[in-house]
Structure 1
Amino acid sequence: MTGTRIRPAARAAALLVGAGILLGGSGCATATAPESDADLQVIATTGILRDIAEHVGGDRVSVTSLVPDSADPHTYEPSLRDVRNVVTADVAFSNYMLLEEHSIIKTLDANLREGVPNISLAEGAVKYAAEIIPLVENVSLDTVWLGLRAAGDGAQYGATRSSDVLVSATAVSGPGDVFGYLTGTFGDPEVYFDSSDGFDQATGYRDDTARLPVDAHTHMSWVFTEPGRYELTLEARLQADQNAKPVELATETFTFAVGINPGDVAAPGATILDLGHADFTANLDTDELYVQYDAEGGGEGTQTVYAADAVVIEVPSKAIAEIPAAPQFDFLGTAGAQIYQLPQAVLGKHVHGEIDPHLWQNVRNVMAYAELMRDTLTEQDPDGATVYRDNTDAYLAELDKLDRYLLATINEIPAADRQLVTTHDAFAYLADAYGLDIAGFVTPNPATEPSLADRRKLTETIRNLGVPAVFLEPNLVARASTLTEVAGEQGIEVCTIYGDTFDATVTSYVEMMQFNADSLLRCLG
């Protein structure tokens, strides 16, 4: 496939209001593409996917990634240049399974031209024998986790992976103010709900609304400024696309017992939620808003559904904390003032689904990615079929060698020492494929100092298992203060492991996995 392609590149000069940087619908205006020696312009969301696509496509493709190397795909926000790259793409590859920040997915879906393949690799690779692992969360807090969830696919409303589920706080009663916010990777809060300045119906509760992708859930922090009984009213809506008027799904009121005996406010027969994992859940298929609760953190399949009036959420006195002195938390009040907090269970902007999206930590899954990319590129560029096949065969041979290298290298580590403690829950596939155990990952909330109990649990894990080292991802060092401090106290090494991104040291997928294997052997063996 050669020659000039017609693309709507001229539209990249205009931006529309929406989550992320979006242009209008695809295929409505045209412009001539810039000259390129490559037959196909390919856009990938991450550097890892870019590298795989370059190996499969070779000289017939020009591949660009949206998320820069060293950046976090969970939090990266697309730029205008990223939008232009999407507009001119002939093929798009995302990992999905809610790995990428939602605005990245919206940027792809809103700006690709009509007919351009838009491949979700983690889902599509299952047909090529990729293995997926359910995301089971480790409940380690001594209060309930409380988040938000969007359940169902909303097909009757035309929902897609780019749709927004809107959960708005519309009213609250109680002795103090209520805040709901999410703390990002580097400690900056994104405020979802703030009762201190009221809830503005005239703006559609814009300033008190959380947005979720379809079939996702997120952890967050909740703060109450005074003890007592609170009743919080939430409204769930679905916005199928950026130009559609949101559809109202349901409105319900939920009760909190803050620093008081929950039995004093619970209706007869009501369930008190004091530990485990609970989500305020908007169901797109049944038009309901309720609580999904799981005492063990085992995922959606193990959760129990409770109507809003059938539960009381306990915020106990042991949840008392102080407002941090950092200026980004001034919205909560005066630094040092006492608050009641249900902390965010998992650090960082952690919006995810029920399947662990980090498939590439098993090399066999990347082989499936490569085969799916091969077939996608061949369909778009039949003249390059032989090139894509030969490139993929060569890359599969390299990946097979890499897979055997990881197996052999990690097998040199004594079985009892194959215990992995990290900052980020991204290595279940690595552990499952190559015989490691996930001993723990660090999830402190940077809005508050880690408790003595948090440190004690981590210390005991390291001491009891005889862990000789802990592992940090270079792009997530800001999360690691507790882990590095405890490691220093225990006299063990702090080593490097790569999860989501490349940097100046590691610039390809094969290099990344070889580095991880060598680092594991050196530090654990």
Structure 2
Amino acid sequence: MAAVGVAAVAGGCGAVAADDGAVRVVATTEILADLVRAVGGGRVHVDSIVPPGGDPHSYEPTPSDAKKIARADVTFTNHLLLEEHALIKAIDANAPDDAPNVSLAESAETYGAQVIPLVENIALDVPWLGLAVRGSGAGRGATRASEVRLSATALEGPGRLAVYLTHALGEPQVYVDSADGLSTVDSAVLPPDAHTHVNWAFSAPGVYRVTLSAALSTPDGAWTPVGAGTFTFAVGVDPHTVHSGQSGVVVDRGHTDVAVDLDRGELYAWTDAGTGAQRAVAAADVVIDVPNRALDTVPADPRFGFLGPAGSSVHQLPQAVLGKHVHGEIDPHLWQNVANAKAYAQLIRDTLVASDPADRAGYARRTAEYLAELDRLDAHVRTRVATIPAHRRQLVTTHDGFGYLAKAYGLTVAGFVVPNPAQEPSAAQVRKLTETVTNLRVPAVFLEPNLSGRAGVLTQIAKDQGIRICKLYGDAFDERARSYVDMMRHNAGELAACLG
């Protein structure tokens, strides 16, 4: 299947060797490329698809990237939805069939890597209702490059339904609009294992029943049905008087996703309602509360005319985070724990040996040397962080990319501007972050060099509070840090200097 915006240029033939005989390797990010160079040495020629200072969360591949991928002997991605899905599709569509194509974060656990969940703690006084894809779908032929289409196929109720996403600059992207009937146009498309935030808007109070159907993309561009489910919404009425199924679970707070399960072939509510722990509840057994406090006014902006006349009222469950925000359930930034980088290096070693067994001893030697260097690096980071008083080990950063750093080295993620760097903060997020900085007496905030264009909010908060503005490397290098070791040594030093 061709990648979106980048035609597949690889056939089924093997890759063309580099001019100097080196193994051609393509990695999605500079950090991964640096790890490959440390293990491969002169035996490899490595290209990073995301350019220096680029953001893997939002980078869109180009035709020249597809050509690099098509010539690769080995490709490495991080995945766990770190990279923009279009980049993953470009890798999988263009990598030669006989070239190892390894997702490091997803395979490194067998080498001792430890993963942590990506936990969202979003305080809303109404339910947060997103969309999600669960299960691997391997039995249906799904791969990480597949897409899942969630379509609204039927609606019963007293008014119209609109499901949409508000981008960072206020531009709405409409997924479902029942005003002109429902068709396959009324759909949202997600990759496997993904979740996204959306708004649900209802034009009139009453009881609604919304039927959603799911389909999985096939390599030839067709769609295979997966399942369907009908969900009940109590809009501006008492949800406890609306009967739905046997259990009648009322979703009136917390986090819930309308989820399609690729393995079970069904749609259900993946919700923490009533228990605090996420669980699957059958679509027929759920009543989703859209209370009167969810009433909102349609803005005068003509872009929101699909909601109704300007100034009219709608009941709306808002998306919890402004901007496009697609992610999985596991934090993908594993390398911020040096122990996980060691697991990556060993997986890279074994992958390169399988592709180039003639230099097995060389790969083993270089990897052993690099692992020893990473052991020294890990000890250095621990030593520097240990100089920071415990009550000052609070991280406030540009985006939620430092959970592994915090967990491994005894820090606390006190706050961040946005969960994903490809989005802009809402007013509520800015207010909450300001309160966090004030209440915890945070001595410094940390910006990422490659996200300087999105650092205005954090910079202003720091200036208002009279605290330091410091630098942490997250997803990319710059001219001052050109290797993983340099990056982590800088981060350790900056933490000690700014918080200690």
The correspondence for 1:469, drawn from 426, 431, 444, is 444
- Cα deviations across residues 438-465 of structure 1 (Å, max 9, x unaligned)? 22233499789524xx555434432332
The correspondence for 2:192, drawn from 214, 222, 237, is 214
2-side partners of 1:88 and 1:442: how far apart? 39
Residue in 2 that maps onto 1:316 = 291
Residue in 2 that maps onto 1:394 = 369
Please give the secondary structure, in 2, of the residue aligned with 1:351. coil
Residue in 2 that maps onto 1:262 = 239
On the 8 A contact 2:298/2:308 being kept in 1, the answer is yes
C-alpha spacing 1:456/1:261, structure 2 compared with 1 (3 Å): farther
Quote the offset at 1:24 in angstroms. Answer: 6.7
Report whether the alignment pairs 1:419 with 2:394.
Answer: yes
2-side partners of 1:449 and 1:319: how far apart? 17
Residue in 1 that maps onto 2:498 = 523
The correspondence for 1:100, drawn from 75, 83, 93, is 83
What are the within-5 Å matches in structure 2 for residues 48-197 of structure 1?
Answer: 48-183=31-166, 189-197=172-180
2-side partners of 1:314 and 1:101: how far apart? 33
C-alpha spacing 1:441/1:263, structure 2 compared with 1 (3 Å): same
The one-letter amino acid of 2:196's match is T
What are the within-5 Å matches in structure 2 for residues 324-473 of structure 1?
Answer: 339-443=314-418, 450-451=427-428, 454=429, 457-473=432-448
- Cα deviations across residues 2-30 of structure 1 (Å, max 9, x unaligned)? xxxxxxxxxxxxxx765352417740x68
The correspondence for 1:251, drawn from 228, 244, 249, is 228
2-side partners of 1:409 and 1:296: how far apart? 43
1-side partners of 2:180 and 2:454: how far apart? 31
2-side partners of 1:405 and 1:326: how far apart? 54
Please give the secondary structure, in 2, of the residue aligned with 1:23. coil
2-side partners of 1:266 and 1:488: how far apart? 53
Quote the offset at 1:122 in angstroms. Answer: 1.2
Residue in 2 that maps onto 1:13 = none
On the 8 A contact 2:168/2:424 being kept in 1, the answer is no
2-side partners of 1:473 and 1:404: how far apart? 23
Please give the secondary structure, in 1, of the residue aligned with 2:427. coil
C-alpha spacing 1:477/1:193, structure 2 compared with 1 (3 Å): farther
1-side partners of 2:384 and 2:300: how far apart? 46
Quote the offset at 1:213 in angstroms. Answer: 2.3
2-side partners of 1:159 and 1:220: how far apart? 24
Please give the secondary structure, in 2, of the residue aligned with 1:423. strand
C-alpha spacing 1:195/1:70, structure 2 compared with 1 (3 Å): farther
Residue in 1 that maps onto 2:272 = 294
What TM-score do the two structures reach when normalised by structure 2?
Answer: 0.88
Quote the offset at 1:91 in angstroms. Answer: 0.2
The one-letter amino acid of 1:424's match is H
2-side partners of 1:293 and 1:39: how far apart? 50
2-side partners of 1:522 and 1:379: how far apart? 44
Residue in 1 that maps onto 2:262 = 284
2-side partners of 1:521 and 1:164: how far apart? 44
Quote the offset at 1:401 in angstroms. Answer: 2.3
The one-letter amino acid of 2:219's match is Q
Please give the secondary structure, in 2, of the residue aligned with 1:116. coil
2-side partners of 1:493 and 1:78: how far apart? 36
On the 8 A contact 1:41/1:90 being kept in 2, the answer is yes
2-side partners of 1:171 and 1:500: how far apart? 42
Quote the offset at 1:385 in angstroms. Answer: 2.7
The one-letter amino acid of 1:257's match is A
2-side partners of 1:394 and 1:474: how far apart? 29
Please give the secondary structure, in 1, of the residue aligned with 2:212. strand
The one-letter amino acid of 1:432's match is K
Residue in 1 that maps onto 2:8 = 23
- Cα deviations across residues 152-193 of structure 1 (Å, max 9, x unaligned)? 222332222222221112233445543333455676554332
The one-letter amino acid of 2:8's match is L
What are the within-5 Å matches in structure 2 for residues 509-520 of structure 1?
Answer: 509-520=484-495
C-alpha spacing 1:295/1:255, structure 2 compared with 1 (3 Å): closer
- Cα deviations across residues 316-370 of structure 1 (Å, max 9, x unaligned)? 3433455667787666567776554433334554333322211000011111111
1-side partners of 2:309 and 2:493: how far apart? 48
1-side partners of 2:199 and 2:267: how far apart? 20
1-side partners of 2:169 and 2:453: how far apart? 6
**Identity among equivalent pairs (%):** 52
C-alpha spacing 1:76/1:409, structure 2 compared with 1 (3 Å): same
2-side partners of 1:288 and 1:158: how far apart? 16
What is the total number of aligned residue pairs between the two structures? Answer: 497
On the 8 A contact 1:20/1:106 being kept in 2, the answer is no
The one-letter amino acid of 1:287's match is G
Structure 1, 416-425 or 480-489: larger mean CA deviation: 480-489
The one-letter amino acid of 2:230's match is T
Please give the secondary structure, in 2, of the residue aligned with 1:439. strand
2-side partners of 1:228 and 1:485: how far apart? 44
On the 8 A contact 2:132/2:257 being kept in 1, the answer is yes
